Amino acid sequence: MGDEGQVMSCHSTEAWEDQLAKANDSKKLMVVDFTASWCPPCRLIAPFLAELAKKLPQVIFVKVDVDELK
């Protein structure tokens, strides 16, 4: 698949739906970080989630900017 070990960013509804379908089809756990560029706690957790994605390639990690995708 090629996306293992990284946090995938969804910048469109189509990208979100693709990631959701991928998780459903594969029966993998999907962790979603609903984030915003102006949010200090969101910026603090981003490196932690990136590290988790590397350590847990069997889990799909996705981030969604709430200002981009309502």
Catalytic positions, written as ranges: 39, 42
**Both ends of the chain: CA-CA distance in Å?**
27
Question: How many C-alpha atoms does 44 have within 13 Å on its Cβ side?
Answer: 3
Q: How far apart are CA 57 and CA 3, in angstroms?
A: 9
